[in-house]
């Protein structure tokens, strides 16, 4: 069993730990209705991000072009957010392969990064990722934005003081995340960190 809290594992999946005080923002579970306003904030603040999308939500009409044009990365979060560890290998394969195929078909770009739904994976998942040439990307800081619909200030509090060089921050394409995103970005910068894609 792999344990993503295991530091050796994290070094493995990230390959390079940036020496600079840089962190990376990641948004899971889109593309959602909040995508446009989230992109507006990221553009205004000049912050790049990685979007881990459920491919079932990706249609041609979604603003995927804007995501790419504005310097962000589209990555896979499987097809319909099933816990992969509950599925036989053939079904896991389908979830992952369908998602990267659909993203490539619509955007024309190959997918390089994968984040398993619920952060759950097993050795079979890893075998599939290797076979498909995908790099698993987990996170070090969970902002727990999904738990703070009515208390968005806690999203910022969950991140403040936890950033380290190379930290990957987990966010979602949610209303409350949008509400605090400018403040979150400003606070992280005040702590001396910049935003980058690793
Ligand atoms: Zn998710």
76 alpha carbon – ligand 1 mean position (Å): 10
Q: What is the pLDDT of residues 57-112, one digit of tens each?
A: 999 889 999 999 999 999 999 999 999 999 999 999 999 999 999 999 999 999 99
> How far apart are the C-alpha atoms of 108 and 21, rounded to whole Å?
33
Q: What is the pLDDT of residues 33-48, one digit of tens each?
A: 999 999 999 999 999 9
**How many residues appear in the chain?**
198
pLDDT grade for 18, boundaries at 50, 70 and 90: low
28 alpha carbon – ligand 1 mean position (Å): 5
pLDDT grade for 1, boundaries at 50, 70 and 90: very low
Strand, helix or coil for residue 98: helix
> How far apart are the C-alpha atoms of 186 and 183, rounded to whole Å?
5
163 alpha carbon – ligand 1 mean position (Å): 22
> How far apart are the C-alpha atoms of 3 and 65, rounded to whole Å?
35
Question: CA angle, corner 95, sides to 143 and 59, nearest 5?
Answer: 75
- Is the pLDDT confidence value at 6 over 60? no
pLDDT (mean) for 118-144: 95
Q: Which two tokens stand for residue 160?
A: 């403040």
165 alpha carbon – ligand 1 mean position (Å): 24
78 alpha carbon – ligand 1 mean position (Å): 9
Architecture in CATH of 7-195: Alpha-Beta Barrel (3.20)
pLDDT grade for 2, boundaries at 50, 70 and 90: very low
Residue 55 confidence (pLDDT)? 97
Residue 3 confidence (pLDDT)? 42
**Which residues have beta carbons under 5 A from ligand 1 (an ion)?**
28-29, 117
Residue percentage of the chain with pLDDT more than 90: 87
57 alpha carbon – ligand 1 mean position (Å): 12
Residue 2: alpha-carbon gap to chain centroid: 19
pLDDT grade for 19, boundaries at 50, 70 and 90: low
pLDDT averaged over every residue in the chain: 91
Are 107 and 68 spatial neighbours (Cβ–Cβ below 8 Å)? yes
64 alpha carbon – ligand 1 mean position (Å): 18
């Amino acid at each position: 069993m792999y344990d993503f809290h295991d530091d050796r594992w994290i070094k493995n999946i990230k390959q390079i730990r940036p020496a600079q005080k840089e962190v990376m923002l990641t948004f899971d579970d889109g593309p959602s209705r909040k995508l446009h306003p989230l992109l507006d904030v990221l553009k205004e603040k000049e912050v790049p991000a990685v979007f881990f999308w459920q491919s079932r939500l990706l249609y041609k009409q979604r603003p995927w072009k804007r995501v790419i044009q504005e310097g962000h990365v589209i990555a896979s979060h499987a097809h319909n957010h099933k816990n992969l560890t509950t599925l036989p290998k053939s079904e896991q394969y389908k979830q992952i392969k369908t998602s990267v195929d659909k993203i490539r078909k619509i955007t024309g770009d190959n997918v390089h990064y994968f984040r398993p739904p619920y952060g759950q994976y097993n050795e079979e998942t890893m075998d599939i990722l290797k076979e498909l040439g995908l790099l698993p990307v987990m996170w070090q800081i969970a902002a727990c934005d999904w738990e703070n619909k009515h208390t968005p200030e806690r999203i910022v509090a969950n991140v403040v003081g936890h950033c380290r060089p190379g930290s990957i921050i987990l966010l979602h394409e949610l209303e409350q995340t949008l509400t605090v995103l400018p403040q979150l970005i400003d606070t992280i910068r005040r702590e001396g960190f910049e935003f980058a894609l690793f």
